[in-house]
């Protein structure tokens, strides 16, 4: 049973939750910074559960939808479904269970979050189809993850505000940029099977340029937040580390050398998310 549980964690790449979850924490504490309320830790737990359930549903659905492509791709043929560790039926059952748990949990948060939960779920599930018809799939992935800060903010306040939207834009362009870098590994395979991605459409050199442009836009959003909010020095330390790590990944990945793509994708961006969120929360609370 323990092995089975580990298989499902591997199926959804649970460790990659570190990309979006810290931004949900930022949205949560930002909401209390704006509202004269004491933090509700029961609500905090429900937000974390929503993040986990939504991401589990999205990732398992993506693995289910892509299972035939994964079987053909040397890089992915040992994933859980093509290798037979988890059956397609089990994966889609896991997807449905987590989708129900996600929507069910939002029912206990507030009406707005509950009513919007199918929309959020639709966005993150729809991403799995986008590589079949558009090279802008990277932006759709970014959009899905960008719901984390604004979703957590809505869970607390029940209303929209500019700052969490700007945080969402930080996430959108940051994720789109690093997903392009990650997709460099499958440039030739995507062309062969007629899947759409920016590397497959324009080649590695131009793809890296577009990824850099997205990261510049993310940087602009970081400065926009700093200009609009009354945050202290801790915010700028976190923002500087976040921007520096975005720059760093562009120094270790080149069109002719993809050997450190995984370091850029997982390690560097995981650190960027955690550090940015940590210093943001410190700034909000001090």
- As a dihedral over the C-alpha atoms of residue 228, residue 230, residue 233, residue 235, rounded to 10 degrees, the angle is -60
Cα 155 to Cα 39, 144, 159, 228, distances in angstroms: 12, 17, 8, 22
pLDDT at residue number 3: 46
Report the chain's terminal Cα–Cα distance, integer Å.
Answer: 45
Q: Which one is predicted more confidently, 142 or 10?
A: 142
Give dist(CA 137, CA 116) in Å, integer. 22
pLDDT grade for 1, boundaries at 50, 70 and 90: very low
Phi/psi region, residue 108 (left: phi>0; alpha: psi -120 to 50; beta: rest), is: alpha
If you average pLDDT over residues 223-227, what whole number do you get? 96
- Burial-class residue 217 by CB neighbours within 10 Å (0-12, 13-18, 19+): middle
pLDDT tens-place string over residues 64-107: 999 999 999 999 999 999 999 999 999 999 999 999 999 999 99
d(CA 96, CA 92) in angstroms, rounded, equals 6
Mean pLDDT of 211-217: 98
The Cα–Cα gap between 134 and 129 comes to 9
* Percentage of the chain modeled with pLDDT above 70: 99
Q: Centre a 10 Å sphere on the Cβ of residue 139 and count the other Cβ atoms it contains.
A: 22
Task: Say if residue 155's pLDDT is above 80.
Answer: yes
Mean pLDDT confidence for 249-274:
90
Lowest average pLDDT, out of 162-171, 244-253, 263-272, goes to 263-272
Q: How far apart are CA 10 and CA 146, in angstroms?
A: 23
Residue that has been written with the tokens 């370091």 in this structure: 263
Biggest CA-to-CA distance, the chain: 56
Hey, what CATH topology would domain 2-285 get? Answer: Tetracycline Repressor; domain 2 (1.10.357)
DSSP state of 16: G
* pLDDT, tens only, 26-71: 999 999 888 777 789 999 999 999 999 999 999 999 999 999 999 9
Average pLDDT over the chain, rounded to whole?
A: 94
Q: What is the pLDDT of residue 67?
A: 97
What is the pLDDT confidence band of residue 18, given thresholds at 50, 70 and 90? Answer: confident
Across 135-144, 167-176, 212-221, 249-258, least confident range: 249-258
Which phi and psi (to 5°) does residue 135 adopt?
Answer: -75, -5
Q: Where are the domains of the chain?
A: 2-285
Higher pLDDT, 253 or 230: 253
Residue 12 exposure: Cα atoms within 13 Å on the Cβ side = 25
- Residue 11 clears pLDDT 90, i.e. is over it: no
């Amino acid at each position: 049973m323990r092995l089975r549980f580990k298989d499902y964690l591997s199926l959804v790449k649970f460790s990659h939750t570190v990309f979006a979850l810290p931004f949900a924490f930022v949205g949560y504490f930002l909401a209390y910074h704006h509202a004269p309320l004491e933090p509700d830790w029961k609500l905090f737990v429900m937000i974390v559960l929503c993040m986990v359930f939504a991401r589990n549903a999205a990732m398992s659905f993506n693995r289910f939808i892509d299972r035939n492509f994964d079987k053909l791709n040397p890089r992915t043929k040992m994933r859980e479904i093509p290798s037979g560790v988890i059956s397609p039926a089990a994966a889609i059952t896991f997807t449905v269970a987590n989708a129900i748990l996600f929507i069910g949990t939002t029912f206990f948060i507030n009406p707005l979050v509950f009513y919007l939960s199918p929309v959020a779920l639709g966005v993150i599930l729809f991403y799995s189809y986008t590589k079949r018809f558009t090279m802008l799939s990277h932006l759709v992935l970014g959009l899905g993850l960008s719901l984390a800060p604004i979703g957590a903010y809505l869970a607390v306040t029940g209303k929209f505000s500019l700052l969490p939207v700007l945080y969402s834009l930080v996430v959108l362009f940051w994720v789109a940029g690093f997903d392009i870098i990650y997709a460099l590994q499958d440039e030739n395979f995507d062309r062969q099977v007629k899947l759409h991605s920016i590397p497959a459409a324009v080649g590695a050199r131009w793809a890296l340029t577009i990824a850099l442009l997205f990261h510049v836009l993310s940087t602009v959003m970081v400065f926009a937040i700093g200009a609009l909010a009354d945050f202290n020095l801790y915010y700028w330390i976190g923002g500087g580390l976040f921007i520096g790590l975005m720059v760093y990944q562009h120094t270790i990945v080149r069109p002719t050398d993809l050997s450190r793509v995984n370091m850029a994708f997982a390690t560097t961006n995981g650190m960027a998310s955690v550090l940015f969120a940590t210093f943001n929360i410190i700034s909000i609370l001090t």
